[in-house]
Amino acid sequence: MRKVFQAELHQVGEQLVEISRLVTEAMQKATTALDTADIELAQEVIAADARIDFLQTDLDERSIDILALQGPVASDLRMIVGALRMSTSLERMGDLARHIAQLVRLRYPDPVIPESMRGTFREFAEKDIAISEKLTELLEARDLDLSAEIDMINSRVNELHAGVFKAIADPAWDSSGPTTVDVSLASRYFERFADHGVSVSRKVTYLVTGEWRPNGQSV
C-alpha cells in the first residue's frame, strides 16, 4: 500500500509540473499575440485553456481521493493540501494568459497596446514568462534559490504595474477611453499572473522546509 501511495503522490507532483508548463506556453503565446495582434495565436491560447482547467480538476479529484483513502500525515499531508492550493493558482495563471488573448481578439485588427507603452508590455511579458519558467523548474527540482529569483522578478513586475498607472494618470496621456481600459486591464493581468507565481513558489518553500515564509521574507 505504501508503494501505491508514494506513486500517487509522485503523479500529483508530475501533474503540477505539466500544468505549469502549459501555463508557460499559454503566456508565451498570449504575449506574442498581444505584441503582434495575431488573432490565430490568441485563439489558440483561448482554446488551450480548457486543457489546463481539465488537468486542474483531475489533480484536485486525485488529491481528494488520496486524502480520503490513504489518510496521509505530516509531510505527506502538507504535499496533498499544498498541491490542491497550488493547482488553483496555476489554473488562475492560465486564465490570466487567456484574458490577455481575449483582449487581442476583442480589438483585432487593431493593437491592444499603444506604441508609447509597447516597451513596457514587452518587459512585462519577459518577466512573467521568466517567473513561469522558473516556477516549473522549482516544482521539478525544489531548488529554493529559484524562489528568491522569482521574488526578485516579481518586484520588477510590480514596478512596471505602478508605472503603467502613473502614465495613465499623467495629463500628457492622450489615448482613447477604450485603450486606457485595455492598458489598465492588461497591466493588471500581468501583475496578477506574477503574484500567483509567487504564491505557488512560497507553497513549494513551505513543502520543502515546513516553514511558512510571509510576503517579503527571503528564503
Please count the other Cβ atoms lying within 10 Å of the Cβ belonging to residue 19.
27
- The reported pLDDT for the residue numbered 2 is 64
CA distance 204 to 191: 20
pLDDT < 50 regions, the chain:
216-219
Q: Do 101 and 45 contact (CB within 8 A), yes or no?
A: yes
Cβ atoms 80, 60 nearer than 8 A: no
Task: Report pLDDT for 217.
Answer: 46
Per-residue pLDDT tens for 40-97? 999 999 999 999 999 999 999 988 888 777 666 666 777 888 899 999 999 999 999 9
| Distance set, CA 65 to CA 9, 12, 62, 86, 194 (Å) | 11, 11, 5, 17, 30
Supply the pTM of this predicted model: 0.92
pLDDT value, residue 190: 98
Q: How far apart are CA 189 and CA 192, in angstroms?
A: 5
- Cell numbers describing residue 164: 503603467
Give CA–CA dist 145/201, Å, rounded: 11
The domains located in the chain, with CATH, are 2-209 (1.20.58.220)
Residue 72: the pLDDT is 65
